[in-house]
A and B are shown apart, each in its own frame.
Chain A
Amino acid sequence: MSAATSTSPRTAPKPGGAERRPRPSFTKLLTVIVLGFFLIMLAGVVGSVMISSVSTRWLNTWLPEGYTGRWFSAAWEEFGLTQVLLVTFQVAIAVLFMTLLIAIPAAYVLARQTFPGKRFLTILFLLPVVVPTITYGVPLATLLYRLQLAQTLPGVILINLVPSVPFAILILMPFVEQVDESLEKAARIFGARNWQVFARVVLPLLAPGIVATSILLLVRTIAMFDLTFLVAGPTTQTLVVKLFYAVSAAGFRSPQSIDAMAMMYMATNVLLLAVAFKFISPSRIVGGGAHRT
C-alpha cells in the first residue's frame, strides 16, 4: 500500500513547490483511511466466520474458548454436502461448456468483423451484464416455472447461462483481437478451409483466453446466488443457495457448522480465483468489459 505514495515523483515538479507539498501526504492519508477501513471491515467479516468455524464455543468474548475441526465434518453430514457439491459442479461445468460453445464464435465475429447492426447487437449482449439479475431473473424464473423446467437441473443451468454468455463474450473479444489476422490469411492461402482455420489456427492461439474465461465462469457460476436461488428446488441447490438457506434459518443449526460450510464455499472460490490470476491480469476481470461501452 505504501506504493501509493509513489504517485508524486511521477508528476512533474512545478514552480512554487510549497503548494504541492501537501498533495502526497493527502494521497497517502486517503489511501490509508479508506482502504484501511475497508480492509478492517473485510478482515473482521471474514475473520469472524473463519474463527467461528473452528471454535468449540464462542460467546461474548474476543476469542473462543477452544478450537476444534469437527464442525467441518458435522457440516458435511448436516447439510448433505456430497449431493450439494455434486449439483454445484454439474451446473458449473454444464454452464461452462454451453457458454463457451455459444460465446467463442460470437466473440470471434464481433472482434473481427463490422456489419450492419453490430452496435445494436453489442448493446444487446451487454445488457444482461449490467441489468441487475433480479430484474430479468423474476420473469425468466416465472417462465421456467410455467415450462416445468424450474427446480430441475436444466432449469438451473439455463438461467445461469444468461449472465455467463455475455460475460464470456466480453472477456474473449480482446483475446481474439490479439490473435494476428495475417496468420488466418496465411492458413487460407495454404488451402485451409474455414473450419480448419478456426480449429487449427484460431482456437489454439485463443487457448490462454479460453482457459482464463473458463475459470472466471466457474467462479461466477459457483458464486451466482440470485438466479440459482429463484429456480433451485430441494434437490438442485448449489452450495451458495444451501448456505443462504442455512443462514436465513439460523437458530435451528449451530452457527459453527454454518460457518464451516461458508469456509468450504470460500475456499473453493478463492482457489479458483488464484488459478485465474495465473492466466489473466486481475484488472481485466472487472475493467475488461467496461472499456468497450
Chain B
Amino acid sequence: MVTRTAAPPASLAPMKKRLAEKGVTPRLLLLMPAVVFVLGLFVYPFIYGLGLSLTTDNGSPWGNYQEFFSDPYLRGTIWLTVRLAVPAVIIILVTAMPLALAMRGVGRGKQAITIILLFPITIGTVLLSNGLLDFLGAAGWVNRFLLDTGLIAQPLQLIHNYWGVLFAIILTDFPFVFLLLLSYAGGIDTAYERAAAVFGASPRQRFLRVTLPLFAPGLAITTSLAFVLAFGTFPSALLVGEPAGSTRTMGVAAYSEAFQQFDYPMASTIVMLMAGVELLVIMLILGLRARLVPTLSSGRKG
C-alpha cells in the first residue's frame, strides 16, 4: 500500500521522483483506455440516467418518483420483483450452502460438477426459458409424469406465471451461487472444526461457532450477488412469465417504459429505484452479517 510518510522538508527532489515514490509512474498511462471506457460507458450513462429521472414537465425534480409511487401498476412492480427474488435466493442458499460446505476437499468430483454447473450459465436464460416452456408445459414431461403416476388429474399450470419464472431464476442462479460458495468454502480449513471437535464441541456448536463465522464474509457477498442477479430478472419474466401481470418485474417495467412507451425519464426512474432497492438489500445483508455473526479476526495477528 501507499506509505504516507511526511514529505521530506527539503522537497528539492524533482516532482517526478516524488510521484514515483507514491507509485505514480508513466506506466499508469496504460490504464487510460480502461478509465476512459469505464467513465464513458458506465459512469456517464448512469449519471445521464439519473439526470433524466429528475427531468419532468412540471418542474418538480421528484415528479417521476412521485408518479411511480402514486401509480399502483408501477409501484406494484417492486413487490412483484421482491416476491420472486427473495424466495429464489432463499431456496438457492438453503440448498447450495450445505452442499458447498460438504464438498470441501473433494477432488475429482468437484471438477466434473463445476463443468456441469457451468453449462446452464453458458447457455443462458433465453435458451433455458425456451426449454422450460417445453418441459413444464401442459404437454411437457413434468405434467406427463404427474398425470401418468396419477398424482394429478389435470395438467398443472407451471408456465406463463410466477412458478415458471421462479424455476428459471433457480436454474440460472443456482450454479452461479453454488460455484461462488464452493470457492469460498475451499478457503476454510477443516482443521478449525477438527480442533473444536477435539475440545468437545458438538456438530451444532462447530457449525454455529466455527464454520459459520468463517464462512460469513463469503456468504454475505454471495447472498448480495444472488439477490442482485435475481432482482434483475428480465428475459425469463418475459418468456416464461406473465409480463403484464404477476411477473411484471422492475426490469420488465423499465424496458417497456423505455422501448415500448418511449418514456425514457420514467424508465430511468425505475432503473434508479432498482439500484436503490438493491443497494438497500445489500446493506441489510452486510449489516445483518455484522450483527448476527461474530467476525473472527482471522489472519490479523498483530
A interface list, Cβ under 8 A from B: 1-4, 6-7, 10-12, 14, 19-20, 23, 26-27, 30-31, 34-35, 38-39, 41-42, 44-49, 52, 59-62, 101-103, 105-106, 108-110, 112-116, 118, 121, 124-125, 127-128, 130-136, 138-143, 158-159, 161-162, 165-166, 169, 194, 219, 223, 225-226, 229-230, 240, 243-244, 247-248, 250, 255, 258-259, 262, 265-266, 269-270, 273, 277, 282-283, 285-287, 290-291, 293
- Cross-chain contact of A115 among B28, B44, B258 (Cβ < 8 A): B28
B166 at interface (Cβ–Cβ under 8 A)?
no
Known contacts A223-B123, A287-B179; 18 additional CB pairs below 8 A are A4-B109, A14-B197, A38-B171, A41-B135, A42-B171, A49-B134, A106-B34, A108-B30, A109-B31, A110-B31, A113-B23, A142-B49, A247-B129, A273-B118, A277-B115, A283-B114, A286-B121, A286-B179
With most chain A CB atoms within 10 A of its CB, the pick from B34, B44, B179, B184 is B34
Q: Is B286 an interface residue (CB 8 A)?
A: no
CA distance A194 to B267 in the complex (A): 47
A136 to B251, CA, bound (A): 11
Can you list 16 pairs linking A and B with CB atoms under 8 Å apart?
Answer: A14-B194, A44-B135, A44-B141, A62-B141, A124-B38, A131-B278, A132-B229, A132-B274, A134-B234, A138-B254, A138-B255, A142-B258, A226-B234, A230-B255, A269-B122, A269-B123
Given contacts A106-B30, A109-B30, A291-B183, contact A259 B106 (CB under 8 A): no
Beta-carbon contact of A244 and B126 below 8 Å: yes
B122 near A136: Cβ-Cβ < 8 Å: no
B1 at the interface (CB under 8 A from A): yes
In contact, B99 and A130 (Cβ under 8 angstroms) = no
User: Is B33 on the interface with A (CB-CB < 8 A)?
Assistant: yes
**Closest residue of B by beta carbon distance from A168:** B34
A140 touching B118, Cβ below 8 Å: no
The CA-CA distance from A277 to B27 in the complex, in Å, is 33
Distance A90 CA – B152 CA, assembled complex (angstroms)? 50
Q: Which residue numbers of B lie inside 8 Å of A, CB to CB?
A: 1-2, 22-25, 27-28, 30-31, 33-35, 37-38, 41-46, 48-49, 52, 95-96, 98-99, 102-116, 118-135, 139-142, 144, 167, 171, 174, 176, 179-180, 182-184, 190, 193-194, 197-198, 203, 221-222, 225, 228-229, 231-232, 234-235, 238-239, 251, 254-255, 258-259, 264, 267-268, 270-271, 274-275, 278
| Residue contact A223 to B122, C-beta cutoff 8 Å | yes
The answer, among A31, A34, A135, for a CB contact under 8 Å with B232, is A135
In the bound complex, residues from chain A placing their C-beta under 8 Å from that of B130 are 49, 243, 247, 258-259, 262
| Total contacts A-B at CB 8 Å | 290
10 closest cross-chain pairs (CB), A and B? A132-B232, A139-B49, A3-B109, A287-B183, A45-B131, A115-B23, A105-B30, A106-B34, A48-B134, A140-B45
* A121 → chain B closest CB, angstroms: 7
**Contact partner, A169, options B34, B106, B271, Cβ 8 Å:** B34
Nearest residue in B to A220 (C-beta to C-beta)? B122
Query: In the bound complex, how far is the Cα of B239 from the Cα of A198, in angstroms?
Result: 48
With a cutoff of 8 Å between Cβ atoms, the chain B residues found around residue A20 in the complex are 203
* Chain A min CB distance to B229 (Å): 7
Alpha-carbon gap, A161 to B45, bound state (A): 14
Contact of B127 among A41, A49, A250 (CB under 8 A): A49
What residue of chain B has the Cβ atom nearest to residue A198's Cβ? B30
Chain A contacts of B198 at CB under 8 A? 14
Residues B124 and A223 in contact, CB atoms below 8 Å apart? yes
Determine the chain A residues whose CB is within 8 A of the CB of B49 once the complex forms.
Answer: 136, 138-139, 142
B271→A273 contact, CB < 8 A: no
Chain B residues with CB under 8 Å of A219's CB are 122
Complex: A33 Cα to B1 Cα, angstroms: 47
Contacting residues, chain B, for A7 (C-beta < 8 A): 102-106
A128 lies within 8 A of B42 (CB): yes
Evaluate contact between A4 and B106: CB separation under 8 angstroms. Answer: yes
- CA gap between A243 and B131 in the complex, in Å: 12
B108:A3 contact, CB within 8 angstroms: yes
B residues in contact with A128, CB < 8 Å:
38, 42
Q: Judging by beta carbons under 8 Å apart, are B25 and A113 in contact?
A: yes
A30 and B38 in contact, given A14-B197, A136-B45, A244-B126 (Cβ under 8 angstroms): no
Residue in contact with B133 in the complex, picked from A2, A110, A250, A285, CB distance below 8 Å? A250
